[in-house]
Chain A
């Protein structure tokens, strides 16, 4: 007799127990496997938010792609932003497969974004007014992204884990690209150095927010408990933020730059960085599309979407004459 469980004969509870057993053993769940609704919904939300953040994340750098100050930098930032679009594409495909049984498509993802129901990452609501921002985004925003994404490399959902593996490999180049811009500025003129300090001063709070609130009591919502339960991630938001501070505070300081938080210090007893909490109410407002650049960037995407409606019509299956 076959030892394969016939899912049809199991009760919902038994299916759930078997599912939990599988992920606890480190088994990978695939798109067509049975999964609890909560798991599916959590993944759809997480992955479509991740995917759309990659795509919206191209927009702050978009400004600097044509303006990059040398041929080498132009090529570097073009390659980087192309990768981000590619990450978005890869992730949206993973999300689409999860949405299939619900009868939903990418069209719904885009409409959710336009309506404000699908959030994108807080950092991508912020302005990027100088070339220093182009460097800082690659260096520290991508640096932070590497930390959150490696935290999910062993995710129980196979297609997501595999996408992340490819993404993380490319993110390393992004961080190097950002670091190279920052190094050139740091070794440059007074004005060039000032560009980095100014960017750090403006981005610091957003970088702390990047990892999300430490617990749901801070903002009233945090998916971290569910994602840990389902073995999608391993570390908490605060653990990730601490890993970021561990890695980058020494690097920032070694360039002779300052961090705009005079309370910041390493608490030896707790073995943790103590820092001034960012304004979490501001965070809530930002991710509700009330950040300084939220509307402009959504507008760009909506304009493009509407402006290209005729192309989608032409590409639709019944669109071709020949």
Chain B
């Protein structure tokens, strides 16, 4: 059973323990797919942010986040799951483990044509996600899988700035004059309805915690709620209960938004998956 406290130093060691490997790869797919798809959605914003300074900052965050996804896919490759690029570009929607919230389109329109993207939704989704990711990463720093714990230390440094960035936007818009607070309220409702899917660790949740890969979903969710309560306290709005209205992405449940995202992001890759690009 659980290897309580003991660490797995390498992919080699992890692969020798089937239960361990199964829970570990499950967790890595969630981490990789979450970052990959939100970085994709973020990259669609390029050139469309509220001002040029934000365009620069936002694309830097997307780039970091795509880099984090690449780290996780590489860890999966090391565990024998296949080529990292194929994992990122070649898997069907039903094989993806990202939360449904993160695949959702940025708003009406297309990234090249009449994009009526919703900045309030972008801020709330990215802020809630960055906070959840921060809590997860803090826990992963003590993961029993050493290569993942090492990755968490590196990711944590960049994440600090992401969280600060989105928190600043969040409080600024929530407390502004004009229509901003109303738009933020709507975005908070919308994001909360699916935020449960981000906080979920999926069907192997118990094994993950028992094997010391990450703390339990319950503990992590409590921490997230505590952080949110602090931020919401002075605001003229409250945080609704988080739900998982449109299904559990961790179990492969997804929306058509993911299908169209995958079509776009793998368009060139699929022209010739074996070619070197």
The interface of chain A, by Cβ under 8 A from chain B, is: 55, 58-59, 62-75, 78-79, 81-82, 85-86, 88-89, 92, 131, 181, 184-185, 187-189, 191-192, 296, 299-301, 303-304, 307-308, 310-315, 318-322
Contact = CB atoms under 8 A, between A and B. Distances in A.
Interface string B20-62: 0000000000000000000010011011111111011001101
Contacts of A62: 46-47, 111-112
Interface in B184-199: none
B115 A66 contact: no
B269 interface: yes
A4 to B, nearest CB: 37
12 contacts: A65-B46, A69-B268, A78-B66, A82-B59, A82-B63, A300-B48, A301-B47, A307-B117, A310-B179, A310-B180, A319-B176, A319-B180
Interface stretch (B83-91, B136-144, B251-259): B83-91
A206 B85 CA distance: 34
Interface of B: 40, 43-44, 46-53, 55-56, 59-60, 62-63, 66-67, 69-70, 73, 84-85, 88-89, 109, 111-117, 119, 172-173, 175-180, 183, 234, 264-265, 267-269, 271-272, 275-277
A187 B47 contact: no
A191 B271 contact: yes
B176 A321 contact: yes
Given A75-B70, A300-B112, A315 B172 contact: yes
B173 A78 contact: no
Best-buried of B53, B59, B269 by chain A (most CB within 10 Å): B59
A321 B67 CA distance: 37
Given A311-B173, A320-B175, A86 B183 contact: no
A75 B67 contact: yes
Q: Dominant SS at the A interface?
A: helix
Contacts, number: 157
B268 A131 contact: yes
B176 A75 contact: no
A313 B172 CA distance: 12
B158 to A, nearest CB: 13
A78 B275 contact: no
A62 B264 CA distance: 13
Given A71-B88, A191-B272, 12 more contacts: A62-B112, A67-B265, A70-B277, A86-B56, A188-B276, A192-B275, A303-B116, A311-B50, A311-B173, A314-B178, A319-B177, A320-B172
Nearest to A92: B52
B119 to A, nearest CB: 5
A184 B85 CA distance: 16
B231 to A, nearest CB: 13
Contacts of A191: 271-272
Contacts of B271: 69, 191
B115 A304 contact: yes
B272 A89 contact: no
Given A66-B40, A187-B276, A300-B47, A310 B178 contact: yes
B268 A67 contact: yes
A159 B52 CA distance: 19
Contacts of A300: 47-48, 112-113, 115
B16 to A, nearest CB: 28
Nearest to A299: B114
Contacts of B269: 69-70
Contacts of A63: 112
Contacts of B277: 69-70, 73, 131, 181, 184-185, 188, 192
B63 A78 contact: yes
Nearest to A307: B116
Given A67-B264, A71-B66, A131-B268, A188 B56 contact: no
Closest 7 CB pairs of A and B: A314-B176, A314-B180, A69-B277, A69-B268, A304-B48, A82-B59, A311-B50
A75 B63 contact: yes
Contacts of A312: 50-51
